[in-house]
Chain A
Amino acid sequence: MTPSVARLAAQAEPVQESVAVATSGVGKRYGRKWALRDCTLEVPEGRICGLVGANGAGKTTLLKLLVGLARPSTGSVQVLRRPPSDTTAFLRDVGYLAQDVPLYRRWSAADHLAMGANLNPVWDVEATRARLRALDIPLDQRVGTMSGGQRAQVALGLALGKRPRLLLLDEPVAALDPLARREFLATLSAAVADAAGELTVILSSHLVSDLERICDHLIVLAESRTVLAGELDEIVGSHRLLTSAKRDTSSIERQHTVLRTEQTPRQTAVWVRLDGPLHDPSWQNDELSLEEIVLAYLGQRSQPPGVDVSAPSGGQR
């Protein structure tokens, strides 16, 4: 575990909360290529956790490891306090929605719900039908002829119908128009509200604005590694943008974790995570939006050429 992630984890977690997902040094290799490595994180129960990262950063791999569709090459995974297994006892508690929302195209929504009722020991018939009806989704129409948003809602209903304790969603709204996206997230949030703390959601997405609205926990993956993990409020509260007239940044670098520095002829700007109180009032101290924070982490390894940037010193990885 990197020192920075460990610090955040220690700060964020109250001692007695139970943990829905915990990984330790998990890695997954396909042939020679590592899709995910050295991943250590914890997600407490009852949270809606966002998973952010560039394409190929390992988001899909992580979700597959959590549901048991793939097995880790190194490290361990604990989901609801046991490792994923190919058994009814495990699968009944975990719902999964793959990217591209695979459904049986020739089936109707009612067919899919019937499948859910037949293949799961617990199935909430009424709530699922009511949810789809409230969204004006016809139950007897072929799923292949529905819009992307309707298909996503059918798949979500199918995943929620078995009353899982953990729900894993792999970029479910990536291909949806803004209205369908909003409706999907609203349905998801309502289901979490209904479950009153019994449902944990991990949701991967590119759209930080969506995650900002609906998530209270965040994981950022960059180049197949976790670079940030913790409570959303805490993350937003501890990351700041410090600006001042051009000056040396070494005192900041010593005491806090610097993500990015920009030096122009007149100004110095530092993207920083405060690891303690900031004692120097000569810095102008502004908030950073979640999007800017995530971009700073994602951009750390690969700075664009042409920007006069000083390399962040040690203390962060």
Chain B
Amino acid sequence: MTWLLWRQHRLQAAWSGGALALLAIILWWTGVRMADTYRAALACRTSSTCGSVALFQGYGALTTLVNLTIAVPLLLGVFWGGPLIGREIETGTHTLAWTQSVSRRHWLYSKLILLVLATMVWSTGLTAIVTWWSGTLNSVRGNRFDPGIFEVQGVVPVAYSLFAVALGVAAGAVFRRTLPALAVTVFGYAAVRIVVDNYVRSHYRAPVVSAARLDQASPASSGSWTISNDLTLNGHPVSGPLNVNFQCGGVGTRQAMDKCLGDLGYQLTTKYQPANRYWPFQFIESALFVALALVLIAVCVIAVRRRDA
């Protein structure tokens, strides 16, 4: 079975290994430079020897690329998961594979184990590089808990990838044709991720709600995930433009404006998840997607073992 797995997937292994290596080199090279620039900026700030430092200019394209790795799990699901079993059944070669002397069960489990291991290894490699590279940006911008950044670092990308390939392989086994399996994988993955992003994640633990005057610092420190900021007047929510020209019209600076509004009773109610919940949230979300992946793998196993060829 080992021979068969290697012979069938050696090209895929080569391409994906090569792509990962290339990305790793680029990110390593630029990441080192970014870190050096940042360290230099910190140093010169304390010693006040900075000229004009433009932090991270020219890294825009790379940052976009890193942000785009959010799509990688879906690509794995489509290219690794869907064809693994679905394509064999579609082309009829499963009757060839299942009538050598290897039992269908053995064939299936070997393929699934390969898929899961390969996905974990490759995805972990990519995520590790991306997380390391993003370290500098995380320190500067403090936005790693934000949607869009949260999903490409840490451990959740590995869980997303496992979910995507499990969805792909289950769709391939159930539908036995490339196109329906592809559609189900793409739309299924997108639907689940959108729902979790927007409606589920903020509820893993009850968000902290805190009110503060506008001229005070936000209770949500750097690295927290600010879910919403609502303006209140004496405790009641306010919406629409403020009509305070009479009271605060003449002030000059932003700080003075904030103080004036605060004196009038305006406050900012911040709903947020504190920064120290970052890793717990990563693990909770990962566990959720891994559980979904396990269910889908069970579906795949049933579809292959129970149905007639």
Asked, given contacts A102-B96, A115-B4, A119-B4, whether A69 binds B101 with beta carbons under 8 Å apart, the answer is no
B26 at the interface (CB under 8 A from A): no
Chain A positions within 8 Å of B3 at CB level: 114-115, 118-119
A92 at the interface (CB under 8 A from B): yes
CB distance from A23 to the nearest CB of B (A): 17
A67 at the interface (CB under 8 A from B): yes
B253 at the interface (CB under 8 A from A): no
CA distance A86 to B104 in the complex (A): 6
CA distance A203 to B99 in the complex (A): 16
**Are B4 and A91 in contact, CB atoms less than 8 angstroms apart?**
no
CA distance A228 to B17 in the complex (A): 59
CA distance A123 to B180 in the complex (A): 39
**Are A91 and B102 in contact, CB atoms less than 8 angstroms apart?**
yes
Chain B positions within 8 Å of A86 at CB level: 103-105
Asked, given contacts A71-B308, A100-B92, A102-B96, whether A88 binds B4 with beta carbons under 8 Å apart, the answer is no
Asked, given contacts A70-B308, A70-B309, A104-B93, whether A96 binds B7 with beta carbons under 8 Å apart, the answer is no
A162 at the interface (CB under 8 A from B): yes
B1 at the interface (CB under 8 A from A): yes
**Are B100 and A162 in contact, CB atoms less than 8 angstroms apart?**
yes
A220 at the interface (CB under 8 A from B): no
A304 at the interface (CB under 8 A from B): no
**Are A116 and B100 in contact, CB atoms less than 8 angstroms apart?**
yes
Chain A positions within 8 Å of B102 at CB level: 88, 91, 119
Asked, given contacts A64-B308, A64-B309, A70-B308, whether A102 binds B100 with beta carbons under 8 Å apart, the answer is no
A120 at the interface (CB under 8 A from B): yes
User: In the complex, which residue of chain A has the Cβ closest to the Cβ of B92?
Assistant: A102
Which of the residues B4, B95, B103, B104 comes within 8 Å of A118, measured between beta carbons?
B4
User: In the complex, which residue of chain B has the Cβ closest to the Cβ of A88?
Assistant: B101
**Are B95 and A96 in contact, CB atoms less than 8 angstroms apart?**
yes
User: In the complex, which residue of chain B has the Cβ closest to the Cβ of A98?
Assistant: B95
A79 at the interface (CB under 8 A from B): no
User: In the complex, which residue of chain B has the Cβ closest to the Cβ of A96?
Assistant: B99
Chain A positions within 8 Å of B93 at CB level: 102-104
8 Å CB contacts to B: which residues of A218-256? Answer: none
**Are B99 and A67 in contact, CB atoms less than 8 angstroms apart?**
yes
8 Å CB contacts to A: which residues of B1-25? Answer: 1, 3-4, 7-8
Q: How large is the interface on B (under 10, 10 to 19, 20 to 34, 35 or more residues)?
A: 20 to 34
Chain A positions within 8 Å of B99 at CB level: 67, 69, 91, 94-96, 159
Which of the residues A107, A120, A155 comes within 8 Å of B100, measured between beta carbons?
A120
CA distance A64 to B100 in the complex (A): 14
User: In the complex, which residue of chain A has the Cβ closest to the Cβ of B107?
Assistant: A119
A281 at the interface (CB under 8 A from B): no
CB distance from B63 to the nearest CB of A (A): 39
Asked, given contacts A70-B309, A119-B1, whether A92 binds B95 with beta carbons under 8 Å apart, the answer is no
**Are A91 and B103 in contact, CB atoms less than 8 angstroms apart?**
yes
User: In the complex, which residue of chain A has the Cβ closest to the Cβ of B306?
Assistant: A71
Chain B positions within 8 Å of A159 at CB level: 99
**Are B101 and A120 in contact, CB atoms less than 8 angstroms apart?**
yes
B198 at the interface (CB under 8 A from A): no
Of B1, B93, B97, B101, the most chain A CB neighbours within 10 A belong to: B101
Chain A positions within 8 Å of B8 at CB level: 104
A83-126 near B? 1/0 per residue, CB < 8 Å: 00011100110111010101110010001001110111100000
- Additional A-B contact list (19), CB under 8 Å, known A86-B103, A91-B99, A104-B93: A64-B309, A69-B98, A69-B99, A69-B308, A86-B104, A88-B101, A88-B103, A91-B102, A94-B99, A96-B95, A98-B92, A98-B95, A102-B96, A104-B96, A114-B3, A116-B100, A119-B101, A121-B101, A159-B99
Q: Which 6 A-B pairs have the closest CB atoms?
A: A102-B92, A69-B309, A119-B100, A70-B308, A96-B99, A118-B3
15 sample A-B contacts, Cβ–Cβ < 8 Å, listed by A number:
A64-B308, A69-B308, A70-B309, A71-B308, A86-B103, A91-B101, A98-B95, A103-B93, A104-B8, A118-B3, A119-B1, A119-B97, A119-B102, A120-B100, A158-B96
